[in-house]
Structure 1
Amino acid sequence: MIRLVLADNQRLFREALTTLLNLQPDLSVIREVACGADALAAVHDVRPDILLADIEMPGLSGLDVAEQLQRTAPATRVVLLTTFGHVTYRERALQAQVSGYLLKDTPARELATALRQVHAGLIVMTAPPHGSGQPCPLTPRERDVLRLAETGTATQDIAAATGLRAGTVRNHLSEIIGKLGVRNRVEAARRARMEGWL
């Protein structure tokens, strides 16, 4: 069972989403809260697998909460819900190492699937319609390599899947990290997903 805490200041939305998620056989909303401070307290109290939080809440925003949990409860994955895919929000979400960034109008079935993917260790990002407007700096081959790296595939296995040598795969990953201005392949995949490049 995937245990969830749901944080959203809109009561009607929160209660409706709780009902929909609890209909799934493997999902359980174990606590609902209406603000960021209560979300932090709930995570530390019940230690859910995932915190599903609105970005815009009174007091501490979902982004504020994600940044704090990165330091204090890293085992809980954070999925943020947003009405609009603001570039500044996406940049902060990237820095906070959230596991998911989804639009609030995502259909319930797709949201449930996304939560399962996050629980399995994947990063799920819904790109806004036009991303940040930046063109993708990655070559098609680099994108192929990054898609495989995103799932945690080892360098040797990426090489086998793409027909490349392991050293070439390492070179591609190094180039990708440099182009995207990030520290590692996980951050590279997160950034590329947010921008809609994968």
Structure 2
Amino acid sequence: MITLYLAEDQSMLSSALTQLLELEDDLHVLGSAQDGRTAWQQIQMLKPDVAILDIEMPEMTGLEVADQIQDSQLATKVIILTTFAQKAYFEHAVKAEVAGYLLKDSPSDDLIAAIRQVMAGKTLYAPALVVNMLSADSNPLSKRELAVLKEADKGEPTKEIAAALYLSDGTVRNYLSAIFSKLGVHNRLEAVNVAKQNKWL
């Protein structure tokens, strides 16, 4: 069972989302809030597997809650669900290492699929956001992701990359999956090419 926490300041949307998620056999909503401060307090107590956060909320924004989750090193994964495709918000979310960033006009099936994929270690960003990010020439990759990509550029297999960076094979695979998602590519070669074209490598 995947446990969820929902922070959304529009009560009708929050209620509808909760009912929708509870219809799934493997999903359970532990709680919800309409402001960021309450959400953060309850997330610390309930420790859900995934927190689904709106950005613009009273008291604390969803991104500030995501920062707190990251700083506190909670195991809770974060999916941002928002109407805002703004570059600054997306950059903040990437720095907070959120596991997913989806737009509210996405089909509900996309959110449900994203929850399961995030729990499997994947990182998912709405394609429109990736395009905006890349066209702005700002680097969406973390230092660790760049280090993984640098090793991948040498043509090393996953096991060798893991050994070089003192990581496990699974962690390296998760980093590569996140890199592919952020850059909108399908393999290492394409990822390296994008990084080199943008002078990130």
Shared fold, TM over 0.5: yes
Contact 1:85–1:127 (CA under 8 A) maintained in structure 2: no
Look up the equivalent residue of 1:95 and give its one-letter code. K
- RMSD across aligned C-alpha pairs, in angstroms? 3.3
Residue-by-residue CA offset, 1:123-165 (whole Å, 9 max, x unaligned):
111132642324799xxxxxxxx9xx89xxxx8xx89xxxx55
The corresponding residue for 1:80 is 80
Q: How far apart, in 2, do the equivalents of 1:122 and 1:64 lie?
A: 22
Q: How far apart, in 2, do the equivalents of 1:58 and 1:192 lie?
A: 34
The corresponding residue for 1:193 is 181
Look up the equivalent residue of 1:131 and give its one-letter code. N
Q: How far apart, in 2, do the equivalents of 1:33 and 1:8 lie?
A: 6
Q: How far apart, in 2, do the equivalents of 1:165 and 1:193 lie?
A: 21
Q: The residue matched to 1:20 in structure 2 has which SS?
A: helix
Between the two structures, name the one with larger relative contact order (CA 8 Å, sep ≥ 6): 1
Contact 1:94–1:190 (CA under 8 A) maintained in structure 2: no
Q: The residue matched to 1:58 in structure 2 has which SS?
A: coil
The corresponding residue for 1:12 is 12
Contact 1:78–1:99 (CA under 8 A) maintained in structure 2: yes
Which segment is superposed worse, 186-195 or 124-133?
Answer: 186-195
Q: Mark the runs of 5 or more structure 2 residues left unpaired by the alignment.
A: 140-144, 162-171, 187-201
Look up the equivalent residue of 1:193 and give its one-letter code. S
Q: How far apart, in 2, do the equivalents of 1:97 and 1:136 lie?
A: 16
Alignment of 1:53-92 (within 5 A): 53-92=53-92
The corresponding residue for 2:120 is 120
Q: The residue matched to 1:78 in structure 2 has which SS?
A: strand
Q: Percent identity?
A: 35
Q: How far apart, in 2, do the equivalents of 1:117 and 1:58 lie?
A: 29
Paired residues, what number? 166
Contact 1:77–1:118 (CA under 8 A) maintained in structure 2: yes
The corresponding residue for 1:131 is 132
Contact 2:3–2:28 (CA under 8 A) maintained in structure 1: yes
- The CA deviation at 1:59 is 1.9
Q: Structure 1 190/88 Cα, relative in aligned 2: closer, same or farther at 3 Å?
A: farther
